[in-house]
Amino acid sequence: MRTTITLTPEADGLVRKVMRERGLSFKDAVNAAIVDGLTSAGAPAPFETPTFDLGAARVPLERALSVAADLEDEELVRRRDVGK
């Protein structure tokens, strides 16, 4: 199939770079760029978040909010006493 496309100067430079590096014709370099860009081979790898085992909980999790409140209260009392 024949078609006419207009490339930006940046796209033209990249196509010509691929032509030199791979020894391809202009037509083959453009076709390779299109196929690589539109297939899964050219797709970025899915993002994965690393996970780490933090071990067993050191506080009872069923009372986590209560424990956090107690710790915050202790810190506020400590700050008040240091400020005297």
Average pLDDT over residues 8-13: 95
User: Could you tell me the residue range of the domain that residue 25 belongs to?
Assistant: 9-42
Tell me, yes or no, whether 84 lies in a domain: no
Give DSSP secondary structure letters for 33-52.
HHHHHHSGGGSPPPP-----
Tell me, yes or no, whether 55 lies in a domain: no
Other Cβ atoms less than 10 A from the Cβ of 29: the count is 20
Other Cβ atoms less than 10 A from the Cβ of 30: the count is 18
Mean pLDDT of the chain: 89
Give the pLDDT band of residue 40 (cuts 50, 70, 90). Answer: low
Q: pLDDT (tens digit, 9 = 90+) per residue, 49-77?
A: 999 999 998 877 888 888 889 999 999 99
Number of structural domains (the chain) is 1
Other Cβ atoms less than 10 A from the Cβ of 38: the count is 10
Give the residue with greater pLDDT, 64 vs 16. Answer: 16
Tell me, yes or no, whether 27 lies in a domain: yes
pTM here is 0.47
